Structures are given as C-alpha cells and as structure tokens.
Structure 1
Amino acid sequence: MTSNFKDRVREQFGRTADSYVRDNGFAKGKDLAEMVRLLQPTGEDIMLDVACGGGHTALHFAPLVRSVVASDLTMLMLKKAQEYISEEGGVENVTFREADAEDLPFPAGSFTILTCRIAPHHFPDVPRALREFHRVLRRKGGRLAIVDTLLPDDPEIAEFYQTMEKLRDPTHVRAYTREEWVTMMEEAGFAVEETKVFPKNHDFATWARRSGLNREGVKRLNQHFIEASDKVHDYFQIETFAGEVENFTDRKLLVYATRLEKEKK
C-alpha cells in the first residue's frame, strides 16, 4: 500500500483521537495486567510503545520501567495521549515520538521492552513492522507483547469479521489467526513464548461511533450484524433488541515473545 493509505490513517485517527483517548475499553482490560505479568518490567527497562493511541499502555507501564517512548503515526493522536497522561499525573518518564511502525526512527537495540496493543490490523505490512520491532530491541533480554483482534479460523466467520471491520473503519487492513501470528513472529526472529486469548465485549453503538461513522454508516453496520448467520451470531455472542444490535463479543490475542540473541540467517 502507498503512503496515501497512511495519510488516510492519519486523517482517520486525527479525527477520532479524542474518542479513543476517553474510551474505557482501551484504558482498562485484563490484557494489560497479563502483559505486565509476562514482560516482568523492572526499573532498568527502556520501553517503546508502538502505535500508542491514547497512551493507555504507556501510562500503565510507566511506573514500572525506567522510561517509555510512546510512538504513533498520527501527531494529533500523540498530542491527545500526551494531554491524557499529563492529566492523569504521577509519571514523568514518558516521551512522545511521531513514528511509522514499519520504519521506526530509532537505532538498533534501543529498547528492552516493546508493546503494541490493538493496532497491527491497521498496518499495511505487519511482517515489515515485526522486523523493525526486532531491530530496535536489544539482542539480550529484548522482549515484546502484542495484542490485537484475533481472526477466527472458520472462513465464514473470518469473512464476516473482515467485512464488518472495513464497514466500520476503512483503514482496517486485516486481522490474523493465532497460527499466522506465530509464523510471522518466528520469521521476524522472535521466539514465541506464550499466547493467550481474551474475550472482549463491546457496546455496539459506542464501538461503531468511536470510529466516526455517521448515522447511515451505523445503520449499514447494524444490518450486516443482523443478517449474519446463526454461526456468526453464536461466535460473536451478538445480542439484539427490536432489530438493533446492543452488544457483541470478539476475541483479542496476546502474543508474548523474546528476541533471539542470534540473528537469523
């Protein structure tokens, strides 16, 4: 995909930045606690949070590490994240940097921990981003945790999901199955240590409007859910009332991996 797509991403998230910053679904979650458990951050760690969005992951880890660089493709999102972290108070070790996940502006081996939460499905080239993650992590002790929406293995359910996300947000590229994630991570030079799946319930109206959909867009998305097969309804636990979707549940995949000390040949 060309730079035009990334301009669309900047426009999309610049326009909706505030709604992401203020969303409790990003500010909280069992996945954050699990990321901490797996990464075991210490006061010696230097952390990079890629595609930081509203800054929730950076803020969560900041008291546990020496320093955090919160990076994002969208400058306005970074400004909103900075405001949010400043308002929350209590941390002074977070800096902000505009950065493309597929071309990170940091020297090799700059960080000991890297996180990326609920963002890779917007990346045009995930394998390239993973190679960049590998490059900027230290050979010894480098580790990362990625969380993103899990693509179902069932082709029918996966097709529904891909269409649903694109109806909601045209900057969605694609999600990946657990097997695809493990393969991509290993090919990038990581050892996958653990994966874990978390169900996440969404209030449909809040979720749909957070991406900036107008009334007609929300209506089309609602119809896509309503007309889905029983299999899809069961998988996403779609709850409706009087022809309106009230909520649904998808699954997030956490991948914890360590950087191999030796380069792949």
Structure 2
Amino acid sequence: MTDNNSTHFGFETINAQEKAGRVKAVFDSVATRYDLMNDLMSFGIHRIWKRFAVELAGIRRGQRILDLASGTGDLAARFAGLVGPEGLVVMTDINAAMLNQGRIRMADEGLVGNLAYTQVNAEQIPFPDNSFDCITIAFGLRNVTDKQQALNEMQRVLKPGGRVLVLEFSHPQGKPLKTVYDLYSFKLLPKIGKVVANDEESYRYLAESIRMHPDQETLKGMMEQAGLERCDYHNLTGGIVAVHRGFKL
C-alpha cells in the first residue's frame, strides 16, 4: 500500500516524484528496439490487439484524435489514414526518445500532413476542455504515476459525444493461464530483453508493472470516477490484455 507521496515502480515502492524519471530511463533504454521487442514478446499478437482497439475507436473522417503514450505510433498511423487530410492526429509521449522514434517512423511511411507531435505528461494534458473526438492510450497507463488524474484529464479534453480507449495489459482470467503467464513474464521475458535489447532490468520492470496495474473492474470504476459513462471492457487473449472504453455524454 502507498500513501499520497509514494507509488509503485514495478514491485518497488518509491517516492511519487521519482517515477516519471525512472520510467523515462526504461524507455530511453529500449526505444530503438521497442518495435522488435513488441513482436517478439507478444509473438506478434500485439498487432491484433491494436487492430481491435482501432475498430472500437470508431474513428471518422475529419475528427481530432489524441493518442497518449504513442510510442512508435502503431495506433497513430492507423488513425491518420482514418481521419483523412481534413482531420488531425496528435501523437504524444512523455518520453522524447520514444516520440522521436515515432516521428521518424511516420516520416518513413509518408504520414506527414495530418499528424502533430507533442511531448505530453498524461497527468497534465496541455489542451483546452472539449478538444478531441477520441483519446487513446495503448500500453501506457500502467506507467503513469497518478492514473486517476490522467483519466480525469482525458475526460476533460474529450468532446461531448467522444470516447476514451485504454488498451493495456490486464489480469488473466483463470488459474492455468495465470500460471503459464507468470512463468513466461518473470523467467523468459527478461531473458529475451537481455539478448535482444541488452536490457534485462527494463523488461523485468515491464512484468512487474503489469502485475501492479488495476484489474479490469477496478480500472472500469476509475474511468467512471473520472466522469466517463457507459464504460465497458473487452478481454483479449484470456484477459492478458483488455480494452476499456468510456464515453463523454
């Protein structure tokens, strides 16, 4: 249990003010191998999870989309095609190294006209109220120090009628799957990180941060507390990942 001045960094309890810097160091370390590691550690299934989230987002031409914790831009690239030249996708990350990798990738793919880039802390979103038709955060909320504050901010900058989507690792349903998943996460995943990214510790943090993230029902309740309505979630791959969705009515 933590007080208002402390938080979790994986299984470690630290001063809340330290977390952003610790998370930054993790993603500085893995930025250049991030996409490769995603493919390896999920056996490519992360692409299916993201495709499902994009479908749930219901993006239409001309809309304004805020993608928080964009990383290298898997969701943002899809959104850019959906909103068309009259729309806008704002691609953000708290980590400059990750955001730069995303910018390079978007340029390489020729996606330049309707994309903007901003370094953003999800707890302090620098946009006015009611600015975006859809807000997404994929595999980033668990790294945020104050998750409730981030959800509050998403609700604030979302337009009435818009939706928030949170794609995140969650809690597997059923003991057999949980047993296998724990074995993979704590034994195999750090070793893959060591071989491919030369960084065992960052991927040990990844496994620990997933376990400390709120379960499906708790996160749904946090979204409702933020003022989002009609909140629901969809378990993917047995609950290893979940997509949470909420609306601003």
Higher helix proportion (structure 1 or 2)? 2
Does the TM-score normalized on the shorter chain lie above 0.5? yes
Kept in 2, the 8 Å contact 1:182–1:192? The answer is no
Residue 83 (structure 1) aligned to one of 92, 104, 107: 104
What residue in structure 2 maps to residue 129 of structure 1? 150
Q: Which letter does structure 1 place at the counterpart of 2:66?
A: L
Following TM superposition, by how much is the alpha carbon of 1:75 offset from its aligned partner in structure 2, in angstroms? 0.6
Post-superposition Cα deviations, 1:42-63, rounded to whole Å, max 9, x if no partner, equal: 1121000011111111111111
Instruction: Say how many residue pairs are matched.
Output: 209
User: The residue matched to 1:169 in structure 2 has which SS?
Assistant: helix
What residue in structure 1 maps to residue 32 of structure 2? 18
Measured in 1, the distance between the counterparts of 2:45 and 2:130 equals 29
Kept in 1, the 8 Å contact 2:69–2:92? The answer is yes
Whether 1:253 and 2:208 are equivalent positions in the alignment is no
Q: Which letter does structure 1 place at the counterpart of 2:204?
A: R
Whether 1:169 and 2:183 are equivalent positions in the alignment is no
Segments of 5+ residues of structure 1 without an aligned counterpart are: 200-234, 236-249, 261-265
Kept in 2, the 8 Å contact 1:53–1:81? The answer is yes
Kept in 1, the 8 Å contact 2:224–2:231? The answer is no
Measured in 2, the distance between the counterparts of 1:90 and 1:52 equals 15
Kept in 1, the 8 Å contact 2:63–2:88? The answer is yes
TM normalised by structure 2 equals: 0.74
Post-superposition Cα deviations, 1:6-36, rounded to whole Å, max 9, x if no partner, equal: 1111111011111114444589522223223
User: The residue matched to 2:72 in structure 1 has which SS?
Assistant: coil
Segments of 5+ residues of structure 2 without an aligned counterpart are: 1-6, 8-15, 190-201
Larger Rg: 1
Kept in 1, the 8 Å contact 2:80–2:111? The answer is no
Kept in 1, the 8 Å contact 2:141–2:147? The answer is yes
CA distance 1:94–1:104, shift in 2 (3 Å) = same
Measured in 1, the distance between the counterparts of 2:229 and 2:59 equals 18
What residue in structure 1 maps to residue 135 of structure 2? 114
Post-superposition Cα deviations, 1:79-110, rounded to whole Å, max 9, x if no partner, equal: 11100111122452111111111111111111
Whether 1:61 and 2:79 are equivalent positions in the alignment is yes
What residue in structure 2 maps to residue 190 of structure 1? 228
Q: Which letter does structure 1 place at the counterpart of 2:26?
A: Q
Superposed, 1:86-97 pairs within 5 Å as 86-97=107-118
Kept in 1, the 8 Å contact 2:220–2:231? The answer is no
Off by >6 Å, runs of 4+ in structure 1: 153-156
Q: Which letter does structure 2 place at the counterpart of 1:56?
A: D
User: The residue matched to 1:107 in structure 2 has which SS?
Assistant: coil
Q: Which letter does structure 2 place at the counterpart of 1:110?
A: S
Measured in 2, the distance between the counterparts of 1:122 and 1:57 equals 18
Q: Which letter does structure 2 place at the counterpart of 1:259?
A: K
What residue in structure 2 maps to residue 146 of structure 1? 166
What residue in structure 1 maps to residue 91 of structure 2? 70
Measured in 1, the distance between the counterparts of 2:56 and 2:139 equals 17
Kept in 2, the 8 Å contact 1:72–1:98? The answer is yes
Following TM superposition, by how much is the alpha carbon of 1:253 offset from its aligned partner in structure 2, in angstroms? 0.2
CA distance 1:110–1:27, shift in 2 (3 Å) = farther
Percent identity reads 25
Measured in 1, the distance between the counterparts of 2:156 and 2:231 equals 19
Kept in 1, the 8 Å contact 2:64–2:88? The answer is yes
What residue in structure 2 maps to residue 245 of structure 1? none
Following TM superposition, by how much is the alpha carbon of 1:167 offset from its aligned partner in structure 2, in angstroms? 6.9
TM normalised by structure 1 equals: 0.70
CA distance 1:177–1:153, shift in 2 (3 Å) = farther
User: The residue matched to 1:109 in structure 2 has which SS?
Assistant: coil
Kept in 2, the 8 Å contact 1:192–1:255? The answer is no
Following TM superposition, by how much is the alpha carbon of 1:128 offset from its aligned partner in structure 2, in angstroms? 1.0
* Cα RMSD after superposing both structures: 2.9
Which sits farther off after the overlay, 190-199 or 113-122?
A: 190-199
